[in-house]
């Protein structure tokens, strides 16, 4: 456990114990005793079954769901588990499954529905014409994450332009076309690498999540492909910028007789054969050109040739798997019921009467359904962060702290508790007011400004009655004339001074003067760039907000 892990675990444990006392059910008593006796393994494995609750027991289920889940994702729990080793083992298991899927799918005579999926996937992606390739090229960009050539956590975008360019052997003939003459002439040194590098990020107390660190130029192209696929999906009714549709379907799944499906290791079990068999040869070739054929595993494991098509970390994996799952669902569900389907990555929703057919098709394609998060019937459903019991949102919050977050942990927990206590009525359950007060007193004084929900974790979330804000009409025109005045904390990223040609190329790309598509506008930093995850000293600012009603403490019905 890290040096900061022990005090955080004390805070998390105390919060969970206080919640158990307030909830006061047999389940909360069991959780209370497990925490007191430090039976951490049993605690993180403890779950509740929605079938054991009456349809009218919404509040009791919501309470028990919170106390059994709140510590499950905490990386501070001392289980003595090599979480990276567990993630690596899971990756190798997925590769074994992919090897079998490749052997089974390549050149096989598929069932009739497979060709319907194939036709649908090809229709969504469209033909790979010269204009489509030009569009993909115009969408190429660098993401914020590390690559094999620029691995530093505190790297900035321009470093990827002027660092030694890493790329796979297959991409080498197309490097100059991808980079353009200006960049290619400035970037003299290129390094051919075998593929990506394996690394992990925190997932929960039992395991980390395996990811891939891609070669720099491969990542540049992958993100262009991913952006193009997003635009194609949007034409067919799937917006990967917004999870609202899946959340709405999950909320009404019981009334509309829907099923919510979730897959285990979906990205890692998308095999090479599946992509090659489903897509046109042009699309399969382009995706293969951009992917990493090998992955460097940690320790002495060395390089491994990948049976999967692409893992998490590849810039188009999420978009491509959405195309595949959407094609499966829409090839099985009749078109007049497509309005009751939703696909967002591996979060899938479809009419209940077709759910078993969808599951069977996914298993044929090499995927495995996550039984714990798949709900074909009953009163509990979940998708895209929306957990619903008998038509009521009941999703718990988790003690899960990002290491580089500048926001005080106590503030994050206090706000999460207040938002959870507000579900679903819009008024906060007064039973948890004392715990919220205890947490809010631990928040540093600078961060205790009362703020509305729209300002997020820039202060303590409170109701308008508690804050009693000043109307904005009393201020000058500079602050606006509608709404209320709210003080809140402002954070600005620290800057790294980089007066290099890489910085110039980055600014040209962002401005659209060179090539490449960027979501953020040109930064007027004059040779400096913001460092991701590193912030300066917080300061107090003023905002004018509408401050909608809500977050009032009331007795539960």
Per-residue pLDDT reduced to its tens digit, 507-548: 777 666 444 434 444 445 556 778 777 888 999 999 888 888
* Rounded Cα distance, 466 and 464, in Å: 5
Tell me, what's the pLDDT at 272? 97
DSSP summary character for residue 245: H
Tell me, what's the pLDDT at 201? 85
Query: If residue 115 lies in a helix (H) or strand (E), which one and from where to where?
Result: helix 112-125
Tell me, what's the pLDDT at 479? 53
Per-residue pLDDT reduced to its tens digit, 418-448: 999 998 877 899 999 999 999 999 999 999 9
Percent of the chain with pLDDT over 90: 69
Per-residue pLDDT reduced to its tens digit, 131-150: 999 999 989 988 888 899 98
Helical segments of 163-271, H only: 175-186, 216-235, 244-251, 253-256
Q: Averaged over 13-21, what is the pLDDT?
A: 97
∠ CA 315-316-317, nearest 5°, is 105
Structure tokens at 494: 């620290």
Per-residue pLDDT reduced to its tens digit, 21-59: 999 999 999 999 999 999 999 999 999 999 999 988 999
Structure tokens at 59: 């509040």
Structure tokens at 282: 């042009």
Tell me, what's the pLDDT at 499? 76
Residue 330 binned pLDDT confidence (cut-offs 50, 70, 90): very high
Residue 339 binned pLDDT confidence (cut-offs 50, 70, 90): very high
Residue 167: which of 158, 178, 159, 156 has the closest Cα? 178
* Rounded Cα distance, 455 and 458, in Å: 6
Tell me, what's the pLDDT at 521? 45
Give pTM, 2 decimals: 0.92
Biggest alpha carbon distance in the chain?
75
Distances (CA, A) of 411 to 142, 389, 444, 448: 33, 28, 8, 8
* Rounded Cα distance, 412 and 458, in Å: 9
In this structure, of 74-83, 310-319, 498-507, the range with the lowest mean pLDDT score is 498-507
Per-residue pLDDT reduced to its tens digit, 164-197: 999 999 999 999 999 888 888 888 788 999 999 9
Residues near 274 by beta carbon (within 8 Å), at least 6 away in sequence:
101, 105, 309, 324, 365, 366
């Amino acid at each position: 456990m890290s040096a900061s892990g022990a005090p955080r675990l004390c805070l998390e444990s105390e919060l969970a114990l206080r919640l158990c006392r307030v909830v006061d059910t047999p389940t909360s008593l069991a959780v209370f005793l497990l925490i007191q006796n430090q039976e951490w393994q049993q605690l993180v494995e403890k779950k509740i079954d929605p079938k054991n609750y009456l349809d009218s027991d919404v509040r009791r289920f919501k309470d028990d769901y919170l106390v059994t889940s709140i510590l499950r994702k905490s990386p501070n729990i001392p289980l003595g588990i090599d979480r990276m080793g567990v993630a690596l083992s899971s990756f190798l298991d997925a590769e074994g499954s992919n090897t079998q899927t490749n052997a089974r799918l390549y050149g096989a005579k598929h069932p009739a529905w497979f060709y319907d999926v194939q036709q649908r996937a090809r229709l969504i992606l469209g033909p790979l014409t010269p204009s489509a390739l030009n569009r993909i090229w115009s969408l190429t960009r660098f993401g914020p994450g590390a690559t094999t050539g620029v691995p530093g956590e505190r790297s900035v975008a321009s470093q990827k332009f002027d660092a030694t360019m890493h790329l796979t052997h297959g991409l080498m003939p197309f490097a100059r076309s991808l980079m353009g003459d200006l960049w290619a002439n400035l970037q003299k040194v290129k390094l051919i690498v075998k593929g990506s590098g394996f690394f992990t990020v925190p997932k929960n107390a039992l395991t980390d999540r395996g990811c891939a660190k891609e070669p720099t130029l491969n990542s540049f192209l992958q993100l262009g492909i991913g952006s193009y696929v997003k635009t194609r999906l949007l034409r067919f009714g799937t917006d990967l910028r917004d999870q609202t549709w899946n959340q709405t379907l999950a909320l009404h799944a019981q009334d509309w007789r829907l099923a919510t499906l979730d897959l285990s290791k979906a990205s890692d079990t998308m095999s090479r054969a599946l992509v090659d068999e489903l897509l046109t040869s042009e699309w399969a070739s382009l995706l293969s050109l951009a992917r990493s054929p090998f992955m460097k595993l940690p320790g002495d494991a060395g390089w491994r040739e990948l049976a999967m098509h692409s893992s998490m970390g590849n810039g188009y994996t999420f978009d491509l798997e959405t195309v595949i799952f959407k094609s499966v669902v829409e090839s099985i569900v009749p078109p007049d019921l497509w309005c009751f389907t939703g696909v967002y990555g591996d979060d899938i929703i479809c009419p209940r009467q077709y759910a078993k057919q969808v599951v069977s098709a996914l298993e044929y394609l090499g995927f495995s359904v996550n039984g714990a998060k798949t709900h074909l019937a009953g009163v509990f459903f979940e998708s895209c962060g929306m957990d619903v019991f008998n038509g009521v949102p009941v999703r718990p919050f988790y003690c899960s702290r990002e290491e580089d977050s500048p926001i005080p942990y106590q503030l994050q927990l206090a706000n999460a508790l207040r938002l959870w206590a507000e579900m679903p009525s819009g008024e906060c359950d007064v039973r948890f007011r004392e715990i919220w007060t205890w947490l809010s007193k631990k928040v540093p004084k600078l961060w205790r400004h009362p703020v509305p929900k729209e300002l997020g974790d820039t202060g303590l979330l409170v109701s308008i009655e508690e804050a009693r804000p000043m109307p904005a009409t009393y201020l000058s025109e500079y602050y606006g004339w509608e709404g209320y005045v709210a003080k809140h904390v402002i954070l600005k990223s620290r800057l790294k001074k980089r007066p290099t040609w890489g910085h110039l190329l980055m600014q040209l790309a962002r401005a659209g003067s060179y090539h490449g598509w960027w979501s953020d506008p040109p930064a007027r930093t004059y040779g400096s760039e913001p460092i991701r995850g590193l912030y300066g000293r917080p300061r107090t600012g003023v905002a004018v907000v509408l401050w909608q009603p809500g977050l009032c403490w009331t007795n539960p019905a």
